Amino acid sequence: MTPVTRGEPTLQAIDLTKRFPGVTALDSVSIDIHPGEVHALVGENGAGKSTLIKLINGVYGADEGELRLEGEAVAFAGPRQAWEAGISTTFQEINLEPFMTVAQNLLLGREPMRGFGLVDVKKMNADAARLLRRYGIAFDERRPLGSVGVAVQQMIAIVRAVSTDAKVVILDEPTSSLEPNEVEQLFRVIRILRDDGVALLYVSHDLDEIFELCDQVTVLRDGRTVHTGPVANITRLELVATMLGRDVQDVRSSGKTAFDIEGRRIGEPVLSASGLSRYRVLSDVSVDVRAGEVVGLAGLLGSGRSETVQGIFGLLRLDDGEIKVNQVVLKRGSPAAAVSEGVGLLPEDRKAEGIVPTMSVKDNITLAAGRSVAKWGFVSSSKVEEIVGKYVDRLQIKVTDLDQSVGELSGGNQQKVLLARLLCNDPDVVLLDEPTRGIDVGAKAEIQALIDELAVGGLAVILISSELEDVIEGSNRVFVLKEGMVVGELQGAAISEDAVMDLIAHAVTDARPESA
Amino acid sequence: MTAVTSPAPAVTSEKTWRFIRENGVYLALAAVVLFNLIATPNFASLRNAQLQLVQVAPVVIVALGMAIVIGTAGIDLSVGAVMALAAAMVAVFVEQSPWLAIGMALVAGVLAGILNGSLVAFLGIQPIIATLGLFVAGRGVALAFTSGRLVEIFDPTLAALGQNRLWGVPVAALLAGLLALVTSLMVRRTQFGRNLIAVGGNPRAALGAGLPVRRVLLIVYVICAVFAAIAGTLVTSRSAAADPSFVGLLIELSAITAVVVGGTPLSGGKVRVLGTVAGAFLMQLVFSTLIRHDLSDADARMVQAAIIIGAVYFQRDRGAK
C-alpha cells in the first residue's frame, strides 16, 4: 500500500513541544504526513493526541518546534489561518451552517453568480451535485444541512474542505458516532481523497479501522512519540502493547505498583451487574465483584470501561440491564439511590465531575456524608472536623488549612479528597475510574496501597486504569472490554499483560455494539 | 469611590485589591453613608432611617431568595410577578380574614415556586427561560383576580405588618432582618445549604456524590418565590392597597443587582447573604441620594446601571483568578 518513493511530506511537524502550567502535554513530537497517505494517530487518553492536533490546526501555538507545510515553515495565529493555508479539521463546525442547504454549504463564499449580486442557484446546485457524485455521496443537495445525518454532514465538511484546496485533512475520531454502513461510506470518501493526493491524519482508537484504512501509524504516549512507521510493519499485538506502554517480548517483572493482592480474603458477592446495554455504547456487559476483591476493567479508550461503571452508578442511562447490590435491585439512573445502597464512584475526570471548586477541602470531603455529619438537617461542625481530621490523617492529605479552597491542592491531594468523600459514606463497593491518572508517583503508590488496604478491609472494588500494570497487579479478576462488550474474563494466574493484550488485539466482536 | 491609588509594593497592592474586591460592597456602602452624613441635610435623622428601612425591606427579602437561586447558577425573573400574585391574593381574601389573606399569599408563592422549580429541575429548562413564563403570565393572573383594578385595603391587622414599628424599627425591616438571619444560617449551617452550593459549584460533581440535585433545585425556587410573596404582602400592607399592575415592577432587576453587587457570582457555587443585604442597601441609598441631590429619575437609573456593570466587571476579574 505504501509507495516506495513517497516524495516530500505535505505536512511536517518537527519537535513540537507544548507546556501547560504544571504539565508538558507534548514533548518534542515529530510527525510527517505525506500526500496520498492516511496517517493514523493513536494513543490513550492524555497521550497528547488532541494537543498535537491543536498545534497543527492553529488552536495553540507551540512552545518549541516547527511546523512545515509543503516544505515551508508556517505559524498560524488561529484555526482560521490554518484552514486558509489548507489544513482542514473535521468537526470545525464554524465553517458549516445547519440552516443552509447542502449545496449552499458546499459552495459557501464562492457561489456562482448571475450578476447584480444574485446567486445562480441552478448552477450552484448543479456544481454541488457534481461534487457529491464525485465522492460517491448520494444525497439531495437542496436539503438543509441540519436535516441530514452526522455522517453526511461530516462528509460534506470534508468535501467542502478538499474542494477549497485543502492539502491536509485531519479527521478526529470521525467514526465515533457513525453507523457501520456510514463508516463504509466515509471510508470510500477518504480513499478517494487519498488517491487524489491529499494528506490525511486519522485519529482513532479502533484497531480494525486503523488496519483497514491507514498506511502509516504514529503512537503517542505521555506526550512523546513511542512509535512511528508503516501499518504493514506492525502487528495488532505490538500496536496495543506500544499504546499501553508495554513491551511484548519483555514483559516487565511484577512489583511496579504498590499493590499486594496476597492478603485479601474474598467474601460474598456484593455487586452484580448483568446485561448492561446502551445503544452504540455497551452491549450486554455483565460484571460482578465480591467483598474483599478488586476487579479490574481493562480495555482501550472507548472500549466501554468507564461507561460500564457510569451505567452501574446511574450516571449513564441504560437501555437494559440489572444491577444488584447486596441482593437488592438498584433503581436505574439514580446516583443518589446507588449511594444510599452503598455504592461510590470515583469519577474519571476529577475536575469536571469530582471537586466542587468553590467549596473548601472540608466541605468537599463531607459533601456526601449526609446523616453522619448532620442532625435535623443542620451540619455539626465538630462532627465534620472529626471526620475530615480522620481522613486527612489516614490518606495523608496535604493541606495547610481545612478551610482551604480545594482548587489550591495538587492533583494527587484532590484525588485523595475525592477518595475521602467516598469513604466517609462507608460504602460496600467503590467504582474507581482512573484513580491514579495525572498524579505524581508518590501519591500514586499511596493510592494503590490504600486500594489494597480497603480490599483487605472487606470492601469490594472495581478498578479502571489505562495503566495496564495497575490492573494486572492490582486485580484479583479482570474483565477485558472491547467495543462495548466483555471479550474475556481472567482470574488469578491467568491474568497477564499478554493475555489482556491478546484479547484486546484479537477478540472478535460483532462489529459494533448495536448489531449484537 | 475610595482612594486607594497610592503606589505600594506589588504584594501589598495585590492584597489590597483583593480586599477591595471581596469587601467592595461594604466599602462602597460606607462611602455613600459618609457622603450623606456630610452633604445631605437631615440624613442622620430617625425619620429618614425609618423611611429608608421600610423602603429597602422588600428588596432585601426578594434579593435573599434571588441569592440562593443564583447560588445554584440559576436566576428567577418571576419574583416581581409573584409579588403581584401575592398582592392579588391579599386583596381577594382580606375581607374574610387578614390571616387567611397572608396564608393565601404564601400559598401562591409556594405554587409559583413549584412551577418554576419543576421546569428547571425536572424538565431541565434553562432558569432564565423557565421563569420567564411566570414573569409574563403571573402579573396577568394577578390582574384577573382583582379585575385589573387597584384594590384599597382597610384592615388594621394587615396594616400593622407594613406600617407599625417595634422599638422604633419598622416591622417590615425586622422581618427582613429575620429572613436574612434564617437564610444565612441555612446557607452556612445546613446540609441543604451545602447541597445548593455544590449544585451551583459543580452540578456533575453534586450528582456524582449522590446529592438530590433535583430536589435541591425545586426547593430553592420555592423558597425564592415564597420570599417574593412575603415581600408582595409587605408592600400591599404598607401602601394599604393591592395594585397588581405596579407591585414589584422591575424588582427582579434590583434584586439581581443587590446579589451581584454583594459579591455572589452569577456562575453559582457561592452565596453571600450579608453582602446581598448590603448590596440592597447600597442600591437603595445611591438611588435616594441621587434623587435628594436633584438628579432626575432617569439620571439615577443610569448611575444604577453603571454600578451594576462595575460590579459585574469586578466579579469577572475574580473569576479569572
Q: Is the CB of residue A141 less than 8 Å from the CB of residue A129?
A: yes
* Domains of chain A, earliest start first: 11-243 (3.40.50.300), 268-342+427-440+456-516 (3.40.50.300), 355-426 (no CATH)
pLDDT tens-digit profile of A19-31? Answer: 887 678 889 999 9
Pick from A336, A358, A359: which is nearest to B211 by CB?
A336
Give the other-Cβ count within 10 Å of B298's Cβ.
7
Pick from B205, B211, B268: which is nearest to A355 by CB?
B205
Is the residue at B320 inside a domain?
A: no
A114 vs A439: which has the higher pLDDT: A114
Q: CB contact, 8 Å: A360 with chain B?
A: no
Collapsing DSSP to helix, strand or coil, A172 comes out as strand
Q: Cβ contacts (< 8 Å) between A353 and chain B: which residues? A: 202, 204-205, 208
> Residues B89-99: what's their mean pLDDT?
89
Residue whose grid cell is 446601571? B305
Q: Residue B182 — φ and ψ, nearest 5°?
A: -60, -45
Amino acid found at B180: A
Grid cell locating A417: 479528597
Going by pLDDT thresholds of 50, 70 and 90, the confidence category of residue B41 is confident
Collapsing DSSP to helix, strand or coil, A344 comes out as strand
Q: Do B194 and A368 touch (CB under 8 A)?
A: no
Is pLDDT above 80 for A500? yes
For residues B115 and B133, what is the distance between their CA atoms, to the nearest angstrom? 10
Residue in B70, B186, B194 to test binding to A, most A beta-carbons within 10 Å: B194
Q: Which of residues 158-197 of B touch A (CB under 8 A)?
A: 189-192, 194, 197
| CA dist list (Å): A20 to A25, A82, A411, B209 | 7, 22, 14, 29
Q: Given this model, what pLDDT does residue B288 score?
A: 85
Distance from CA of B218 to the nearest CA of A (A): 16
Going by pLDDT thresholds of 50, 70 and 90, the confidence category of residue B111 is very high
Q: Cβ contacts (< 8 Å) between B209 and chain A: which residues? A: 335, 339, 367-368, 421
Q: Do A374 and B210 touch (CB under 8 A)?
A: no
Q: Which domain holds residue B241?
A: 58-248
Q: Do A358 and B270 touch (CB under 8 A)?
A: yes
For residues A361 and A5, what is the distance between their CA atoms, to the nearest angstrom? 60
For residues A22 and B286, what is the distance between their CA atoms, to the nearest angstrom? 46
Going by pLDDT thresholds of 50, 70 and 90, the confidence category of residue A258 is low
pLDDT tens-digit profile of A273-332? Answer: 999 999 888 999 999 999 999 999 998 877 889 999 999 999 999 999 999 999 899 988
| CA dist list (Å): A319 to A284, A459, B33, B304 | 10, 29, 63, 53
Q: Given this model, what pLDDT does residue A444 score?
A: 80
Q: Is the CB of residue B248 less than 8 Å from the CB of residue B81?
A: yes
Going by pLDDT thresholds of 50, 70 and 90, the confidence category of residue A513 is very low
> Residues A134-159: what's their mean pLDDT?
79
* DSSP assignment letter at A351: I
* Helix boundaries (H) for A264-401: 305-313, 335-340, 361-365, 381-394
Q: Do A358 and B205 touch (CB under 8 A)?
A: no
| Inter-chain Cβ pairs, chain A and chain B, closer than 8 A | 77
Q: Cβ contacts (< 8 Å) between A354 and chain B: which residues? A: 202, 205, 208
Is the residue at B5 inside a domain?
A: no
Pick from B210, B269, B270: which is nearest to A339 by CB?
B210
Q: Cβ contacts (< 8 Å) between A355 and chain B: which residues? A: 202, 205
Please, what is the average pLDDT of chain A? 84
What ipTM goes with this model?
Answer: 0.81
Q: Do A359 and B194 touch (CB under 8 A)?
A: yes
Going by pLDDT thresholds of 50, 70 and 90, the confidence category of residue A421 is very high
Nearest Cα neighbor of A149 from A512, A483, A163, A157 is A157
Residues with Cβ within 8 Å of B190's Cβ and at least 6 positions away in sequence, in order, are: A374, A377, A378, A379
Q: What's chain B's Rg over C-alpha atoms?
A: 20
Q: Is the CB of residue A402 less than 8 Å from the CB of residue A362?
A: yes
Pick from B191, B207, B208: which is nearest to A377 by CB?
B191
Is pLDDT above 90 for B187? yes
Q: Is the CB of residue B135 less than 8 Å from the CB of residue B78?
A: yes
Going by pLDDT thresholds of 50, 70 and 90, the confidence category of residue A412 is confident
Is pLDDT above 50 for A409? yes
Is pLDDT above 90 for B116? yes
Is the residue at B8 inside a domain?
A: no
Is the residue at B1 inside a domain?
A: no
Going by pLDDT thresholds of 50, 70 and 90, the confidence category of residue A1 is very low
For residues A411 and A396, what is the distance between their CA atoms, to the nearest angstrom? 14
For residues B118 and B110, what is the distance between their CA atoms, to the nearest angstrom? 12
Q: CB contact, 8 Å: B211 with chain A?
A: yes
Pick from A336, A353, A358: which is nearest to B197 by CB?
A358
Nearest Cα neighbor of A341 from A430, A419, A278 is A430
Question: Crossing angle of helices B213-239/B79-93, nearest 10°?
Answer: 50
Going by pLDDT thresholds of 50, 70 and 90, the confidence category of residue A244 is confident
Distance from CA of A149 to the nearest CA of B (A): 25
Distance from CA of A315 to the nearest CA of B (A): 7
**Greatest Cα-to-Cα distance within chain B, rounded to the nearest angstrom:** 69
Question: Crossing angle of helices B156-163/B213-239, nearest 10°?
Answer: 100
Q: Do B191 and A374 touch (CB under 8 A)?
A: yes
Q: Do B201 and A359 touch (CB under 8 A)?
A: yes
Range from A111-115, A406-410, B35-39, B175-179 that averages highest in pLDDT: B175-179
Q: Is the CB of residue B310 less than 8 Å from the CB of residue B282?
A: no
Is the residue at B107 inside a domain?
A: yes
Pick from A313, A353, A378: which is nearest to B205 by CB?
A353
Pick from B210, B268, B269: which is nearest to A340 by CB?
B210
Amino acid found at B218: L
Q: Given this model, what pLDDT does residue B8 score?
A: 42
Q: Given this model, what pLDDT does residue B316 score?
A: 60
By residue count, chain B amounts to 321
Q: Do B198 and A356 touch (CB under 8 A)?
A: yes
Is pLDDT above 80 for A254? no
Grid cell locating A122: 441552478
Q: CB contact, 8 Å: B133 with chain A?
A: no
Is the residue at B40 inside a domain?
A: no
pLDDT tens-digit profile of A66-96? Answer: 999 998 999 888 888 888 888 888 764 446 7
* Helix boundaries (H) for A177-270: 180-195, 207-213, 236-243
Q: Do A315 and B208 touch (CB under 8 A)?
A: yes
Grid cell locating A16: 513540537
Collapsing DSSP to helix, strand or coil, A60 comes out as coil
Nearest Cα neighbor of A53 from A41, A36, A63, A45 is A41
Q: Given this model, what pLDDT does residue B2 score?
A: 41
Q: Which of residues 267-306 of A touch B (CB under 8 A)?
A: none
Nearest Cα neighbor of A429 from A329, A306, A295 is A295
B24 vs A26: which has the higher pLDDT: A26
Distance from CA of B299 to the nearest CA of A (A): 37
Q: CB contact, 8 Å: B207 with chain A?
A: yes
Nearest Cα neighbor of B183 from B280, B267, B283, B90 is B280
Q: Do A356 and B206 touch (CB under 8 A)?
A: yes
Q: Is the CB of residue A52 less than 8 Å from the CB of residue A248?
A: no
pLDDT tens-digit profile of B254-299? Answer: 899 999 889 898 889 999 999 999 999 998 888 888 888 888 878 8
Grid cell locating B29: 456602602
Q: Do A379 and B198 touch (CB under 8 A)?
A: no
> Residues A349-369: what's their mean pLDDT?
89
Q: How many domains does chain B have?
A: 1
Is pLDDT above 50 for B153? yes
Collapsing DSSP to helix, strand or coil, A26 comes out as strand
Range from A101-105, A212-216, A380-384 that averages highest in pLDDT: A212-216
pLDDT tens-digit profile of A143-154? Answer: 888 777 777 777
Task: Please tell me which residue of chain B has the smallest CA distance to A357.
Answer: B201
Grid cell locating B52: 429608608
Residue in B191, B207, B271 to test binding to A, most A beta-carbons within 10 Å: B191
Q: Given this model, what pLDDT does residue A271 score?
A: 94
Is the residue at B152 inside a domain?
A: yes
Q: CB contact, 8 Å: B206 with chain A?
A: yes
Q: Do A358 and B191 touch (CB under 8 A)?
A: no
Q: CB contact, 8 Å: A316 with chain B?
A: no
Is the residue at B47 inside a domain?
A: no
Q: Is the CB of residue A172 less than 8 Å from the CB of residue A57?
A: no
* Helix boundaries (H) for A395-457: 411-423, 441-456
Q: Do A354 and B205 touch (CB under 8 A)?
A: yes
Going by pLDDT thresholds of 50, 70 and 90, the confidence category of residue A467 is confident
Task: Please tell me which residue of chain A has the smallest CA distance to B209.
Answer: A368
Q: Cβ contacts (< 8 Å) between A370 and chain B: which residues? A: 191
Amino acid found at A507: A
